């Protein structure tokens, strides 16, 4: 018998329950559905074989699991969106075309976009304009596909010191400038706690442009209840604002083995009990 569904659509990822089910992808999905999860995400879906994508999608449909994000385009080594290199920009557009095909196979509505590094030799406002212009070209590719790209601000203090996109107001401004329904924000509350804190007010001010949430506690980037973020209050706030989207569980597990995986599930039960 399946456990009661959570109030929000928390989305685990492959590997999160390996001590319970091993490496079989479909068993991961079955286990998650049995525990009451109603969504799933897979950053690496774009690079999986087509047959694997199709089998995962079929099983998710059977289990009534909603597909969350996969990564459409991301780099932590190159200047892509913010720069002027035609080859880098063409590579981004190629990634987006491929993302549309993947989304069709796996019934995905959202894909993650990480706009790369900032250029050390180019004024910041020029970089912002470059980013906006390339995002508009990405939107042309996404037109009519039903796929929305969500731009993820990442922290520079702990994990990604030279990323171009780091702040919620910055992401909000860029999405407003792009002005297209296929360009929204991926609000990862782990990153934003490190970058700027003030989580609920920033969520409220950026609400119209947020398309997806991800979470992880800080410090440590493990499950809720292991750090300083009051996820019960945050999730209550999202629920009261009638958030119907997905909350991706993009974090590690604080304890080893089956016990750690069970504790992970219990932690989500705790923060979902509002």
Mean pLDDT over 28-33 rounds to 98
Of residues 96, 6, 106, 20, the one with CA closest to residue 66: 106
- The answer to whether residue 60 is domain-embedded is yes
- The answer to whether residue 274 is domain-embedded is no
Check: CB of residue 152 under 8 Å from CB of residue 112: yes
- The answer to whether residue 121 is domain-embedded is yes
- The answer to whether residue 43 is domain-embedded is yes
pLDDT in tens, 208-231: 999 999 999 999 999 999 999 999
- The answer to whether residue 232 is domain-embedded is no
- The answer to whether residue 229 is domain-embedded is no
pLDDT at 4: 93
pLDDT in tens, 228-266: 999 999 999 999 999 999 999 999 999 999 999 999 999
Partnered with residue 67 across adjacent β-strands are 40
- The answer to whether residue 74 is domain-embedded is yes
Percent of the chain that is helix, strand, coil (3-state, to 5): 45, 15, 40
Contacts of 5 (CB under 8 A, 6+ apart): 36, 37, 38
Question: With 80 as the cut, is the pLDDT of residue 2 above it?
Answer: no
- Structural domain harbouring 45: 9-195+206-219+240-265
- The answer to whether residue 111 is domain-embedded is yes
Question: With 60 as the cut, is the pLDDT of residue 1 above it?
Answer: no
Number of domains in the chain: 1
Long-range contacts of 117-121 (CB under 8 A, 24+ apart): 117/75, 117/76, 117/77, 117/78, 117/79, 117/80, 117/82, 117/162, 117/163, 117/164, 118/79, 118/82, 118/162, 118/163, 118/164, 119/79, 119/82, 119/83
pLDDT in tens, 113-148: 999 999 999 999 999 999 999 999 999 999 999 999
Residues of the chain with pLDDT > 90, as a percent, come to 99
Question: What's the start-to-end Cα distance of the chain, in Å?
Answer: 24
pLDDT in tens, 153-199: 999 999 999 999 999 999 999 999 999 999 999 999 999 999 999 99
Q: Could you tell me the CATH number of the domain that includes residue 16?
A: 3.20.20.150
């Amino acid at each position: 018998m399946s456990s009661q569904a959570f109030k929000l659509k928390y989305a685990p990822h492959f590997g999160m329950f390996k001590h319970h089910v091993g490496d079989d992808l479909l068993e991961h999905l079955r286990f998650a559905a049995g525990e009451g999860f109603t969504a799933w995400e897979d950053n690496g879906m774009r690079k999986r074989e087509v047959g694997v994508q199709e089998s995962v999608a079929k099983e998710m449909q059977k289990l009534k699991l909603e597909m969350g994000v996969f990564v459409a385009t991301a780099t932590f080594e190159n200047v892509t969106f913010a720069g002027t290199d035609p080859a880098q920009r063409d590579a981004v557009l190629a990634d987006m075309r491929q993302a549309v095909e993947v989304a069709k196979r796996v019934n995905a509505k959202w894909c993650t976009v990480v706009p790369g590094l900032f250029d050390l030799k180019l004024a910041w406002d020029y970089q912002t304009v470059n980013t906006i212009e390339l995002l508009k070209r990405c939107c042309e590719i996404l037109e009519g596909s039903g796929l929305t790209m969500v731009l993820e601000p990442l922290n520079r203090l702990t994990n990604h010191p030279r990323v171009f996109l780091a702040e919620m107001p910055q992401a909000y401004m860029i999405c407003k400038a792009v002005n297209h329904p296929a360009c929204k924000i991926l609000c990862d509350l782990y990153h934003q706690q490190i970058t700027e804190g003030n989580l609920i007010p920033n969520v409220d001010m950026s609400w119209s442009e947020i398309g997806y949430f991800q979470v992880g506690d800080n410090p440590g980037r493990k499950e809720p209840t292991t750090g300083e973020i009051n996820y019960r209050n945050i999730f209550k706030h999202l629920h009261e604002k009638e958030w119907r989207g997905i909350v991706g569980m993009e974090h590690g597990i604080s304890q080893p083995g089956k016990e750690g995986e069970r504790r992970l599930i219990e932690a989500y039960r705790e923060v979902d009990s509002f």
